[in-house]
Each structure stands twice: as C-alpha cells, then as structure tokens.
C-alpha cells in the first residue's frame, strides 16, 4: 500500500489553529502533515506545537527560505494556502509554478486566473483547488437534489445577518479591513457559493444598494441586491455584516413547494437545517452538521493521489473545488459591490 501523500500548510493564523489542524487531524489516516509555514518563526512554532499532538513529525518553516524549502521538497505533493487575501494569490502561484498542488481560499482568486493559465498549460498541470466554498457542505449537496421536487423555480432569497463584532476572533483582522469589499467580500463569497450550488445555474445580472451604518466595521457593512438567474428566475441577496439577531437563510420558492436551508445548532453541533415544504402543506426537515472543510480536504487528497498516478494525462480535479467556480462566486459579489458604488445600476456578472 502506498504511503499517504505529504502536504504542507502555508499560514499559521487563527483559522489554521482552530479549523485546519483539527480537520486535518480527523483525516490523518489519509495524509501526512510535513510542514507548517509562516512569515515568522514564532508564529510557525506556535501552530506546530498544536499540530504535533496529531502529527508528531511536523516541522516549522518560515520566511522566504522556508517557502523555497517547501517548493524544492520533491516528496511534498500538496499545499494548503491559508493566508491573508492579499498575500495568498502570489504565494499560490509560486507554489503552482513549482509543481505543487494547491488548495486555497477564494477572496482574491479572480485576479489570478490569467496567471494560472499561463503557468499551467500542459497536461498533468498542478491542481488548484478552492477551499471553504460551501459546495462540499452536505446541506447544499442535498438541497440541490431536492430542487426537482419543488417544480419551476419562482424566486430565490438569501438573507445573511452576520455576527462580526468585537467578540468574533476575525473582527480585528487587519487584512479583511484593508481591501475593497472588506467583510462583505470575505464573508459573502461563501454565501454566494451556497446560492449557486443550490440553484444549479448562474447569476447573470445584479442591482444593489450598499450602505455603511456600523462604523466599527469597514465600508460597506450592508448590501441589498436584486439578481437574475440565467433561467429567468429573480432573487434577492441581503447581507448585514453585524446584527444582534444573527440569521443565515437560503430559500428557493417553486410552483410545487419551497426549499429552505438555515444555519443553526442541534444537539450541540453547528450546521444547517434543510427543510422541504410541499404543496400539500407538509414539511420535512433534516439537520446536517458542518463538515465541508473535511470533505474538501478529503477530495483534495484524493485528487493529489489520482493526479500523481496519472501524471501527464491531464487529470481533472473535483469540479466543486475548481478555481473557475471560485472565480464565479467572487464575480457575483464584485458585481453587487460595483452596482452599489453606482447607486444601484444594473451590472452584468463577469463570465468565466
């Protein structure tokens, strides 16, 4: 039996410590965590101390030399890039150019498409997967299957009342405050991924109003948008970055029923309640715990193995984690923000 693929994590912030290391530990039979990299030795060591409980052999890497070590390590196949939005694209492209398979967040992904295509134009090119995009959450996988039961789609509603206040560990994150779109883009891109996954078609045009009410947050902190899907259906996307009554709902109304996905908690577990309201007035609900990060990491490891076994054959990675899907998520939100800056003007969503 072949040994599990070796991977590295580039980044050592809050999300790595609280989410990535525990999730990787849960699938430790599928992979070996070889390195954790950060800009500073101190930050790298702090994350490695946590990871050593599950991966005793994990090593620290830091700075430019540490990144070069990772690129030059031929035994290392994949890298999870978990960095500030402004930094992750350049480093991801550097790793891809070095032949490493990469999984990363979505925020700045659109700007890197042309660069990626210029680097990776040959069969057997490195996989570039998009993380934390909600397409791997079982709730959205199942709600998409239920769509056929509600008949012709009539309307879609997405309501996001977030809880980004001073008690949130990401509230003071400087990088989220220092790029255009701020928390709206950083948080909202995941909700758009859920929307696109559920409806199974693209958003074509948007019109939005943005505003700034909570001065503890960067502008804008509120967005209200109407949108049109390529199937002709209309919808509304409303997001408040910080609310005293957090609520997150996706709702698709059809001729024969309605599907609703609502974030919540059941039996001490966080996740989503998926409810199908039938034409007969009956409803059935199922709760799905959060596990999308686990599922996308498992898919990434599987894709690394397949790409390694079929080297040079142009292996295509899991479609849900495609960098193009990530770019499409970002494009919808960027169109909404552009419309907001133009006082609600109708904006076409870029196509990829």
Which residues, 6 or more positions from 134, have their beta carbon under 8 angstroms from its beta carbon? 140, 190, 191, 193, 194, 197, 292
Percent of the chain at pLDDT above 90? 63
What is the model's pLDDT at position 93?
Answer: 86
Question: Does residue 199 carry a pLDDT above 60?
Answer: yes
Domains and CATH numbers, the chain: 6-131 (3.40.50.720), 135-289+329-348 (3.30.360.10)
What is the model's pLDDT at position 187?
Answer: 87
What is the model's pLDDT at position 105?
Answer: 73
**Phi (first) and psi of residue 294, to 5 degrees:** -60, -45
**Helix 323-341 with 182-199: angle, nearest 10 deg:** 120
In whole angstroms, give the CA distance from residue 242 to residue 321.
28
Confidence at 310, pLDDT banded by 50, 70, 90: confident
- Is 178 strand, coil or helix? coil
What is the model's pLDDT at position 106?
Answer: 62
- Is 58 strand, coil or helix? coil
Confidence at 127, pLDDT banded by 50, 70, 90: confident
Average pLDDT (116-125) is 58
What is the model's pLDDT at position 308?
Answer: 82
Greater confidence (60 vs 307) lies with 60
What is the model's pLDDT at position 123?
Answer: 53
What is the model's pLDDT at position 146?
Answer: 96
In whole angstroms, give the CA distance from residue 62 to residue 213.
40
Which residues, 6 or more positions from 309, have their beta carbon under 8 angstroms from its beta carbon? none
Per residue in 318-338, pLDDT (tens digit) is 889 888 888 899 899 999 999
339: nearest Cα among 246, 227, 232 = 227
Average pLDDT (295-304) is 91
What is the model's pLDDT at position 171?
Answer: 66
Structure tokens at 67: 């990144």
Question: Does residue 350 carry a pLDDT above 70?
Answer: yes
Confidence at 75, pLDDT banded by 50, 70, 90: very high
Please give the distance of CA 329 from its chain centroid, rounded to a whole number.
9
Residue 200: CB atoms within 10 A of its CB come to 11
Contact status, residue 36 vs residue 61, Cβ threshold 8 Å = yes
Instruction: Pick the range with the lowest mean pLDDT from 88-97, 208-217, 238-247, 339-348.
Output: 88-97
Average pLDDT (193-216) is 95
Average pLDDT (306-316) is 71
Per residue in 145-171, pLDDT (tens digit) is 999 999 999 999 999 999 887 776 666
Identify any residues that bridge with 283 across adjacent strands, giving them in sequence order. Answer: 277
Average pLDDT (280-286) is 92
Mean pLDDT of the chain: 88
Please give the distance of CA 221 from its chain centroid, rounded to a whole number.
20
What is the model's pLDDT at position 218?
Answer: 86
What is the model's pLDDT at position 196?
Answer: 96
226: nearest Cα among 60, 344, 71 = 344
First to last CA, the chain: 40
In whole angstroms, give the CA distance from residue 57 to residue 206.
50
Which residues, 6 or more positions from 76, have their beta carbon under 8 angstroms from its beta carbon? 6, 7, 8, 34, 35, 70, 100
Q: What is the 3-state secondary structure (H, E, C) of 192-235?
A: HHHHHHHHCCCEEEEEEEEECCCCCCCCCCEEEEEEEECCCCEE
> Hunting for tokens 């967005």 — which residue is that?
223
Query: Following DSSP, what letter does each residue of 268-304 receive, concatenated?
Result: TEEEEEEEEEETTS-EEEEEEE--HHHHHHHHHHHHH
What is the model's pLDDT at position 119?
Answer: 56
In whole angstroms, give the CA distance from residue 333 to residue 186.
10
Per residue in 223-281, pLDDT (tens digit) is 999 999 999 999 999 999 999 999 999 999 999 999 999 999 999 899 999 999 998 88
Question: Does residue 53 carry a pLDDT above 70?
Answer: yes
Per residue in 3-51, pLDDT (tens digit) is 889 999 999 988 899 888 999 999 999 999 999 999 999 999 999 999 9
């Amino acid at each position: 039996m072949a040994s599990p693929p070796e991977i590295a994590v580039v980044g050592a912030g809050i999300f790595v410590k609280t989410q990535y290391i525990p999730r990787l530990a849960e699938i430790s039979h599928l992979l070996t965590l070889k390195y954790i990299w950060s800009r500073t030795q101190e930050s790298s060591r702090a994350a490695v101390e946590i990871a050593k409980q599950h991966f005793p052999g994990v090593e620290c890497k830091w700075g430019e030399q540490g990144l070069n070590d990772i690129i030059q390590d031929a035994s290392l196949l994949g890298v999870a890039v978990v960095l500030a939005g402004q930094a992750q694209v350049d480093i991801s492209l550097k790793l891809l150019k070095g032949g490493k398979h990469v999984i990363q967040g979505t925020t700045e992904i659109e700007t890197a498409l042309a660069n990626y295509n210029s680097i990776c134009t040959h069969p057997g090119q490195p996989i570039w997967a998009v993380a934390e995009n909600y397409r791997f959450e079982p709730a959205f996988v199942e709600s998409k299957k239920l769509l056929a039961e509600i008949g012709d789609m009539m309307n879609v509603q997405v309501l996001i009342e977030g809880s980004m206040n001073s008690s949130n560990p990401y509230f003071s994150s400087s990088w989220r405050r220092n790029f255009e779109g701020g928390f709206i883009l950083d948080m909202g891109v995941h909700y758009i991924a859920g929307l696109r996954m559920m409806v199974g078609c693209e958003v074509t045009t948007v019109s939005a109003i943005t505003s700034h009410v909570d001065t503890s947050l960067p502008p804008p902190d509120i967005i209200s948008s109407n949108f049109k899907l390529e199937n002709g259906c209309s919808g509304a996307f409303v997001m408040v970055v910080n609310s005293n009554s957090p609520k997150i709902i996706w709702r698709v109304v059809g001729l024969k029923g309605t599907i609703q996905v609502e974030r919540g908690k059941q039996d001490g577990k966080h996740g989503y309640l998926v409810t199908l309201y039938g034409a007969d007035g009956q409803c059935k609900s199922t709760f799905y715990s959060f596990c999308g990060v686990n599922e996308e990491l498992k898919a990434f490891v599987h894709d690394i193995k397949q790409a390694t076994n079929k080297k040079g054959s142009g292996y295509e990675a899991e479609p849900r984690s495609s960098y193009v899907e990530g770019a499409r998520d970002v494009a919808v939100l960027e169109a909404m923000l552009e419309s907001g800056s133009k006082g609600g003007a109708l904006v076409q969503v870029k196509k990829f």
